[in-house]
Amino acid sequence: MKAGSFPAKANVLAQRVFYESILQPLMKKAKKRRSKHVLLFIDGSHNIFGGDYLGYVYGVYRRFTKTFSGRQRLSVLACLNYVTKKVSKVATEDYITALTVCELLRKVALEYAGKTVHIIADNARYQKCAVVMNLANELGIKLYFLPAYSPNLNLIERLWKHVKSQLRTQRYDAFEDFKMGIMSILESTHKKSKAQIDKLIGESVQLFDSLVPLNESTYVDMRKKKVA
């Protein structure tokens, strides 16, 4: 049975309150037919060329894959549409900053013009700052910041795991190919990969207030009857 994990500093009560008072109502509102409300999850992914994407090779002997020198990166800040699974994104070969977030907010505002946009965000400083919050207010975008240490409530985290798993199935010999690979995966989330993404990101959300400790580091989820 596969084990899971949860953040050591997570406030399980705060997560439950956020889910029941904010997240769950927004999920239901966004899924209504012809809804004027859009629910997005925002997060950044920092992808290092030749880093954690070597994949798996099976055989009798252990095999090694040649890596690449340097630290070329593609940082992607993205918003995932909870219903359609479409990804709005901004990519940079530098670090994500508040200006990157503002660029994405403007892009989202144009894309969903005429609708009320709700964005679930973590507490990264480049997101939870005055310049971003002032722009969101100007654009009519509603921002909701998660309780600290709550990656389980930011459903776009599941998308990044999907991206990494897809990247491991290919070898990219050039940084440009690596970038194109990432962008291609993100472009397919609401198209040919939608059924797969729907399975990853549905109505279920992982909460931890049903965990019962077995010892100092292991817990059992009494509702799902598996180690969490």
User: Could you give the CA distance from residue 41 to residue 168 in angstroms, rounded to a whole number?
Assistant: 24
CB 190 within 8 A of CB 87: yes
139-198 confidence digits (pLDDT tens): 999 999 999 999 999 999 999 999 999 988 888 889 999 999 999 999 999 999 999 999
Centroid of chain to Cα 187: 15
Within a domain: 184? yes
Strand order in the sheet with 142-145: 87-92, 73-81, 37-48, 116-121, 142-145
Range with top average pLDDT, 50-59, 123-132, 160-169: 123-132
User: Could you give the CA distance from residue 56 to residue 167 in angstroms, rounded to a whole number?
Assistant: 11
Within a domain: 62? yes
Within a domain: 133? yes
Better-predicted residue by pLDDT, 174 or 70 = 174
CB 139 within 8 A of CB 79: no
The CA-CA-CA angle for residues 105, 161, 121, to 5°, reads: 30
Count structural domains, the chain.
1
CA distances from 164 to 52, 146, 206 (A): 8, 24, 21
User: Could you give the CA distance from residue 118 to residue 228 in angstroms, rounded to a whole number?
Assistant: 30
Looking up residue 193, the CATH number of its domain turns out to be 3.30.420.10
Label residues 102-134 b or e (16+ Cβ within 10 Å = b): bebbeebbeebeeeebbbbbbebebbeeeebee
Strand order in the sheet with 211-213: 211-213, 219-221, 226-227
Within a domain: 5? no
Looking at the whole model, is its pTM more than 0.85? yes
pLDDT, mean of residues 57-86? 75
- Token look-up 């910041």 returns 145
User: Could you give the CA distance from residue 22 to residue 178 in angstroms, rounded to a whole number?
Assistant: 37
- pLDDT at position 226: 41
Sign of CA dihedral 8, 153, 5, 91: negative
CB 164 within 8 A of CB 145: no
Within a domain: 174? yes
Local structure of 9: helix, strand or coil: coil
Domain that holds residue 185: 12-227
- pLDDT at position 63: 54
Within a domain: 157? yes
- pLDDT at position 224: 58
193-215 confidence digits (pLDDT tens): 999 999 999 988 988 877 776 67
Within a domain: 76? yes
pLDDT, mean of residues 16-42? 97
Within a domain: 132? yes
